[in-house]
A and B are shown apart, each in its own frame.
Chain A
Amino acid sequence: MIEQVTLTEEQRKARRRRSIALAIVLAALVALFYVATVVKFGPAILDRPL
């Protein structure tokens, strides 16, 4: 039989808040690297063979 842990209401809410914060940070990191890549390449980012 598998033992299951039941989270209290407060633990469940806290975990959800941490998950949301982590998702926001990850999305911000993606945006940061995307914009920084465009900034560092400058107009040359469009200069590529088709």
Chain B
Amino acid sequence: MAITGEHEVATTAELRLSEADPSDYFALLKPRVMSLVIFSAFVGLMVAPGSIHPFLAVVSVMCIAVGAGASGALNMWYDSDIDAVMKRTAKRPIPTGRVTPSDALGFGLVLSGFSVVTLGLLVNWLSAGLLAFTIFFYTVIYTMYLKRRTPQNIVIGGAAGAFPPMIGWACVTGSVSLDSFLLFLIIFLWTPPHFWALALFAQRDYHNAGVPMMPNVVGVESTKWQIFAYTLLTAVVGVLPFFTGLAGPVYAVLATGLGIGFIIHAYRVLRMSPSDERMQPAKSLFKFSLIYLFALFGSLLIDRLVTLGMSV
């Protein structure tokens, strides 16, 4: 606070005169995470039995995407202290000072409200309820509670990322079912190998930030075995949609191939030497896990389109 004569004049910084661009607010939505949310929600919507008007389908996916983005903004608001000390996140809008934490909080809350209410009014209230729960789960349960307390943070918190296909399904059917739960389960089981692969080669970063990721708490060897176990489970559950009748043989073949690829990558991590500081197998697993999930849900989509094509 500067003092000129008898008047107290706030400095520019105190007035919080923002130089934030719209792109900074867009970055708060975690666009890369959003792309997976959009795709998995779209697939959930496409493979669900029943039909929905194409425009309402677009509205549904948009609301789910904005809701997920809102959770991203709320996460960045709460975690800005951690983000500032981690190499991967230090350039986010809050640590760099381009957006203030309170602006990010307001932005996240407004978008949460808009996305849930719009989905409820235009599509149905079950999907809106699931979206609201997802935002609550990611922000309060994962970000505020689990993340800094337990190495099981991303295991339990993974549920938040697994909900979008279930919400997409609920947008069409107005209900949840075993098949929509399977789509949830695939992403839920995929999350630990994906994030622990990252946690292996970003161990120092997580240590500096004080986040109790699995390798920092139980060690690298135990984490490698847990990655392998979850990868096996993901590969098996990934094929189940064929056995419940949700998908056909095209999907079964693709899902089996992808599952084997995922297991091979996890096995290479398991065999990784303790002296390997570059951790190339972990980096490869991290990249392949992303390809796996996109390709698996893409296979579901292809399978559905093939089935639709054959029935015409």
Contact = CB atoms under 8 A, between A and B. Distances in A.
Interface of A: 1, 3, 5, 7-8, 10-11, 14-15, 17-18, 20-21, 32-33, 35-36, 39-40
Given A39-B53, A40-B122, A11 B18 contact: yes
Contacts of B15: 5
A7 to B, nearest CB: 6
Given A3-B7, A3-B9, A36 B18 contact: no
Contacts of B25: 18, 21
B56 interface: yes
A17 B26 CA distance: 13
Given A7-B17, A40-B122, A21 B22 contact: yes
Contacts of A40: 56, 122
Contacts of B18: 11, 14-15, 18
Given A3-B7, A40-B122, A14 B21 contact: yes
Interface of B: 7, 9, 12, 15, 17-22, 25, 53, 55-56, 59, 118, 122
B19 A36 contact: no
A14 B55 contact: no
Closest 5 CB pairs of A and B: A21-B22, A14-B19, A36-B122, A39-B55, A11-B17
A20 to B, nearest CB: 8
Nearest to A24: B22
Contacts of B20: 14, 18
B22 A36 contact: no
Contacts of B59: 32, 36
A3 B18 CA distance: 19
Given A17-B21, A40-B122, 7 more contacts: A5-B15, A10-B19, A18-B20, A18-B22, A21-B22, A32-B59, A39-B56
8 contacts: A5-B17, A14-B18, A14-B19, A18-B20, A18-B22, A18-B25, A39-B53, A39-B56
Contact of B55 (A7, A15, A17, A35): A35
Contacts of B122: 33, 36, 40
Contacts of B118: 32
Contacts of A20: 22
Nearest to B56: A39
Contacts of A15: 18
Contacts of A1: 7
A17 B22 contact: yes
Contacts of B19: 10-11, 14
Nearest to A28: B62
A21 B25 CA distance: 10
Contacts of A35: 55
Contacts of A8: 12, 17
A8 B122 CA distance: 43
A14 to B, nearest CB: 5
Contacts of A33: 122
Contacts of B7: 1, 3
